[in-house]
Amino acid sequence: MAFVGRSNQGSGSAVSSKGLILVLCVLLVAQSAAASNIVVGGSRGWTLGVNYNTWASKTTVRTRDTLVFKYSKLLHDVVVVTKTNFYNCNANRPLAKFKTGTDFVKFSKPGTHYVICGVPGHCKAGMKLAINVRA
Ligand SMILES: [Cu+2]
């Protein structure tokens, strides 16, 4: 009697292990296909003193993802610009502009997109992000 009891218990836990592995596989597939909110600069956010070239080189962004710019709206803003205006740090002709302090920016076209801070001096000091967005 005692032996039969253990045997049943053993086969029961083997079934739930397989079930667990199946659930984990489904979760991994779902996660890789899902859209993500990606916080620019990670825990540092959008601010002075962060190297956004380094951050961008370590970050994969896809067209389904949303970039989140987190910053103090008293100190900074977010200006989407052309390539030329990016290299010149010219925020006068924005393609888009945000200033809430938590801005959600989605680039629906693949390619390199350019974002700078429009506060005078900040772009030249390094608050500029060129991000390659993949399809
Ligand atoms: Cu700024």
b/e per residue 65-101 (b: at least 16 CB within 10 A)? bebbbbbeeeebbbbbbeeebbeebbbeebeeebeeb
**Residue list, CB under 5 A from ion ligand 1:** 76, 117, 119, 122, 127
- State residue 58's pLDDT score: 97
CATH number of the domain at 92, please.
Answer: 2.60.40.420
Domain shared by 59 and 124, yes or no: yes
Distance from residue 78's CA to the centre of ligand 1 (Å):
8
**Residue 44 and residue 29 in one domain:** no
- Residue 42 and residue 23 share a domain: no
Ligand 1 centroid–CA 99 distance in Å is: 11
Query: What's the 63 CA to ligand 1 centre distance in angstroms?
Result: 25
| Residue 77 sits in the same domain as residue 19 | no
Q: 124: CA distance to ligand 1 center in Å? A: 10
Q: Give 13 Cα–ligand 1 centroid separation in angstroms.
A: 56
Rounded-to-integer distance, Cα 46 and Cα 85, Å: 19
Determine the distance separating the centroid of ligand 1 and the alpha carbon of 4, expressed in angstroms: 71
| pLDDT score at 17 | 55
| Calculated CA dihedral for residues 18, 20, 21, 23, nearest 10 degrees | 120
What's the confidence (pLDDT) of residue 12?
Answer: 47
Q: How many domains does the chain have?
A: 2
Q: What is the pLDDT of residue 16?
A: 54
Kindly give the distance from the C-alpha atom of residue 61 to the centroid of ligand 1, in angstroms, as a whole number.
22
Let me know whether 79 and 103 are in one domain: yes
Mark whether 28 and 42 lie in a shared domain: no
Q: 127: CA distance to ligand 1 center in Å?
A: 6
Residues 61 and 83 in one domain: yes
Task: Look at residue 3 in the predicted model and tell me its pLDDT.
Answer: 43
Instruction: Give the span between the Cα atoms of 117 and 97, in whole angstroms.
Output: 10
Domain that holds residue 3: 1-34
Residue spans of the chain under pLDDT 50: 1-15, 20-29
Pairing of the two strands 128-134 and 61-62: parallel
Q: What backbone phi and psi angles, to 5 degrees, belong to 30?
A: -60, -40
Spatial separation of the C-alpha atoms in residues 122 and 116, rounded to whole Å: 8
Looking at residue 118, its pLDDT comes to 98
Does residue 50 sit in the same domain as residue 7?
A: no
